[in-house]
Amino acid sequence: GESVGLHLPTLSVQEGDNSIINCAYSNSASDYFIWYKQESGKGPQFIIDIRSNMDKRQGQRVTVLLNKTVKHLSLQIAATQPGDSAVYFCAENIGYGNKLVFGAGTILRVKS
Amino acid sequence: EPEVTQTPSHQVTQMGQEVILRCVPISNHLYFYWYRQILGQKVEFLVSFYNNEISEKSEIFDDQFSVERPDGSNFTLKIRSTKLEDSAMYFCASSGLAEMSEQFFGPGTRLTVL
């Protein structure tokens, strides 16, 4: 079956440190992956995406790495700030219809 | 910056009642979606909609659910006879022309079924 899962449910980091959030996916046919940030009481907010023909993509303070061999996705946040505290979801695009399958979510807590 | 909007922000209903959740997608988007999130759980896909028809739906989206784009701006999700387990946050999303393009999510409607 299809599933996307996260290794760590909660991650606590010190302000200024780098954060790494991991995700495993099971559908080798998935060709598009997205990281979303969700703050309390809000909808998921797009952070960064990557297509399966790439293994790395960088944004502002964020980097997504894709390892198709082991079906692993990671989100790196540089110089983590208190405003980064949220739940982070990875999602994969499966099939016609642009269906997104979300992972379970990782809580990121940034300590000042 | 354009955004997806949803109304109401919170809907309380009695079990067995019909509810309609409303969404206004971003104006030039062509793909529309509904997802739900039960408290403390992951976001789950319900349905995608393109060119005035359902593109794909999940097992959750049974005969009690329906979607409609009644005019050029609104996109609605109807639950005909609500059950306790329908209590969740319901998110509308939209995306642009291309497949595999970013889906923009609305703020959600919290549905509470009593």
Q: What is the DSSP string of B18-55?
A: -EEEEEE--TT--EEEEEEE-TTS-EEEEEEEETTEEE
Beta strands in A26-105 (DSSP E): 32-38, 45-51, 56-58, 62-67, 72-77, 86-94, 99-102
Task: Name the residue of chain B whose CA is nearest to A52's CA.
Answer: B100
Tokens encoding A101: 């399958």
> Distance (Å, rounded) from C-alpha B70 to C-alpha B45?
22
Band the pLDDT of A72: cuts 50, 70, 90: very high
pLDDT tens for each residue of B10-53: 999 999 999 999 999 999 898 999 999 998 888 999 999 998 99
Contact A43 B108 (CB under 8 A): yes
Contact A103 B55 (CB under 8 A): no
Chain A residues at the B interface, defined by Cβ less than 8 Å, are 31-32, 34, 36, 41-46, 49, 51, 89, 91, 93, 95-105
CB B82 within 8 A of CB B18: yes
Band the pLDDT of B102: cuts 50, 70, 90: confident
**Which residues touch A53 (CB under 8 Å, ≥6 apart)?**
none
> Distance (Å, rounded) from C-alpha A41 to C-alpha A87?
11
Of A8-12, A80-84, B14-18, B55-59, the least confident: A8-12
Closest CA to A47 of A32, A33, A35, A56: A35
- Asked if residue B107 has a cis previous peptide bond (ω within 30° of 0), the answer is no
- Candidates A37, A40, A64, A99: best to mutate against B (most CBs of B within 10 A) is A99
Write out chain A residues lying below 8 Å of B105, CB-based: 36, 43-45
Tell me which residue in B41, B43, B48 faces A98 most closely, judged by beta carbons: B48
pLDDT tens for each residue of A51-71: 999 999 999 999 999 999 999
Task: Name the residue of chain A whose CA is nearest to B50's CA.
Answer: A97
Write out chain A residues lying below 8 Å of B55, CB-based: 96-98
Contact A98 B33 (CB under 8 A): yes
